[in-house]
């Protein structure tokens, strides 16, 4: 029979052999995949590991701090944080077309990562949290219609451009296997069961042109959505849940004044593989609570909608 502990040991041993005495760089996102990669590397080669966290200004509320805290609680490895919000906002200025937004975020990410990686002089390897579905999807993307649906920047391109040798310890695994491996490696539950978050971050949930102000509104709304789902005990039963800031204003009434403010959509889906998904049947009372809180607490929002589209034909993200 297949033992997860043996599997983890074998992966760690394999990494040790491959790396020898050389240095490995690992990009950290705060998500489960990159955390499991970091944990494997840390166990395998500890002091030869350098992690890089790029804060692109498109992260969720207080996310940079949370990632740093989690990291330092579990690893004593080198962590370099790059505060690149200005750079990303600059390159996104005036851009509202989704593919163009993704492309620019991808390029800015490569630039920032490259700059930081170059300052780590003896680095030889680059570790990535590529999963089996990423491998399939990017393979299919070369000759199939999947190529034109959405650009993913987490697979391919980066290591070659940087001149590193690649380490992808998770490339034979599915998400649920990565989660079990994370538990086996002693990562905390909040990290292991965290919903996936896309590389382009809040940019694909802030529809149309991105501004710091819009991102801040979205961060507040998103935090309410996630916290209320957690408080209702439904976080682990949903695969992904978040807020989307729509590029729409609508009329409302507040006291005896007319408002003309933003609309927020709640998106919550259930899925096994993220290739198809159904909208979560969240309880009405929970939706009511989320809606009331967002409208009362988030300045600039006067309307909340629930997204009841399945994938396909809709996608999970709105852009
Ligand atoms: P869609 O919106 O295509 O998303 O149904 C499927 C899953 O992929 C995530 N996603 C991304 N992840 N880089 C990522 O790392 C990306 O560019 C990207 N686009 C979508 C999305 O959050 C969902 O889990």
CATH number at residue 138: 3.40.50.620
Phi and psi at residue 269, in whole multiples of 5°? -130, 155
| Same-domain status, 63 and 130 | yes
How far does CA 16 lie from the centroid of its chain? Answer: 28
Amino acid 156: pLDDT: 52
160, 192, 224 - which closes a domain: 192
130, 160, 192 - which closes a domain: 192
In a domain, 314, yes or no: no
In a domain, 197, yes or no: no
| Same-domain status, 56 and 187 | yes
The 3-class SS string of 114-125 reads HHHHHCCCCEEE
- Best residue among 30, 34, 150 to mutate for probing ligand 1, ranked by most atoms within 8 Å of CB: 150
Q: CA triplet 159, 160, 161: central angle to 5 degrees?
A: 90
Is the Cβ atom of 271 under 6 angstroms away from ligand 1? no
- Strand pairing class (123-127; 257-270): unpaired
Q: Which two tokens stand for residue 198?
A: 């896309």
| Same-domain status, 11 and 141 | yes
| Same-domain status, 111 and 17 | yes
C-alpha span between 70 and 35 (Å, rounded): 10
| Same-domain status, 171 and 81 | yes
Q: Which residues contact 171 (CB under 8 A, 6 or more apart)?
A: 130, 131, 132, 134, 135
Is the Cβ atom of 311 under 6 angstroms away from ligand 1? yes
Total structural domains in the chain? 2
Q: Which long-range contacts (CB under 8 A, 24 or more apart) does 67-72 make?
A: 67/28, 67/29, 67/30, 70/30, 70/35, 70/188, 70/191, 71/28, 71/38
| Same-domain status, 94 and 56 | yes
Nearest CA to ligand 1 atom 11: 198
| Same-domain status, 238 and 152 | no
Bridge partners for 262 per DSSP: 249, 301
Q: What is the pTM of this model?
A: 0.91
| Same-domain status, 66 and 138 | yes
C-alpha span between 110 and 117 (Å, rounded): 10
User: Tell me: the pLDDT tens digits for 153-191?
Assistant: 454 555 666 789 999 999 999 989 999 999 999 999 999
192, 220, 240 - which closes a domain: 192
Provide the annotated binding site.
29-35
Q: How far apart are the first and last CA of the chain?
A: 43
Amino acid 157: pLDDT: 57
CATH number at residue 267: 3.30.300.10
What sign results for the dihedral spanned by CA atoms 188, 190, 194, 200? negative
Quickly state the pLDDT bin for 198 (edges 50, 70, 90).
very high
Amino acid 142: pLDDT: 46
C-alpha span between 88 and 57 (Å, rounded): 7
What number of residues does the chain have? 319
User: Tell me: the pLDDT tens digits for 298-314?
Assistant: 999 999 999 999 999 99
User: Tell me: the pLDDT tens digits for 233-286?
Assistant: 999 999 999 999 999 999 999 889 999 999 999 999 999 988 999 999 999 999
In a domain, 26, yes or no: yes
| H-state helical runs in 128-211 | 132-143, 158-162, 175-184, 189-192
| Same-domain status, 256 and 146 | no
With the CA atoms of 265, 271, 276 and 277 taken in that order, what torsion angle do they form, in degrees rounded to the nearest 10? -30
| Same-domain status, 10 and 102 | yes
Cα 315 to middle of ligand 1, angstroms: 9
Q: Which of 169, 173, 168, 145 is nearest to 156 (CA)?
A: 168
Q: Is the pLDDT of residue 151 over 80?
A: no
Cα 137 to middle of ligand 1, angstroms: 11
DSSP 233: T
Amino acid 273: pLDDT: 85
* Span 126-136, average pLDDT: 88
Is the Cβ atom of 194 under 6 angstroms away from ligand 1? no
| Same-domain status, 217 and 185 | no
Domain range for residue 262?
Answer: 205-306
- To which residue do tokens 């198809």 refer? 276
| Same-domain status, 134 and 241 | no
User: Tell me: the pLDDT tens digits for 60-94?
Assistant: 999 999 999 999 998 889 999 999 999 999 999 99
């Amino acid at each position: 029979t297949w033992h997860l502990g043996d599997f983890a040991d074998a992966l760690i041993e394999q990494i040790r052999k491959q790396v020898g005495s050389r240095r490995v760089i690992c990009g950290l996102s705060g998500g489960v995949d990159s955390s499991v990669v970091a944990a494997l590397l840390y166990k395998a080669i500890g002091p030869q590991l350098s992690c890089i966290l790029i804060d692109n200004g498109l992260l969720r509320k207080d996310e940079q701090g949370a990632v740093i805290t989690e990291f330092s609680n579990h690893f004593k490895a080198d962590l370099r944080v790059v505060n690149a919000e200005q750079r990303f906002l600059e390159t996104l200025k005036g851009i509202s077309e989704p593919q163009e937004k993704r492309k620019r975020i991808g390029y800015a990410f490569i630039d920032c990562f490259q700059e930081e990686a170059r300052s780590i002089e003896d680095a030889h390897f680059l570790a990535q949290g590529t999963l089996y579905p990423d491998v399939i999807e990017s393979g299919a993307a070369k000759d199939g219609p999947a190529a034109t649906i959405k650009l993913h920047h987490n697979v391919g391109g980066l290591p070659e451009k940087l001149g590193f040798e690649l380490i992808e310890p998770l490339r034979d695994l599915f998400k649920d296997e990565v989660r079990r491996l994370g538990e086996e490696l002693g990562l905390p539950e909040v990290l292991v069961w965290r919903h996936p978050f896309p590389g382009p971050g809040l940019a694909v949930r802030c529809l149309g042109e991105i501004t710091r102000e819009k991102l801040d509104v979205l961060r507040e709304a998103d935090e309410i959505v996630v916290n209320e789902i957690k408080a209702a005990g439904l976080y682990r039963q949903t695969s992904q849940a978040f807020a989307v800031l729509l590029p729409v204003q609508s009329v409302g009434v507040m006291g005896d004044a007319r408002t003309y403010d933003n609309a927020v959509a709640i998106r919550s889906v259930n899925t096994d593989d993220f290739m198809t998904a159904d909208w979560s049947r969240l309880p009405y009372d929970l939706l009511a609570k989320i809606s009331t809180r967002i409208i009362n607490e988030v300045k600039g929002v006067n309307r909340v909608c629930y997204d009841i589209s399945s994938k396909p034909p809709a996608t999970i993200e709105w852009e």
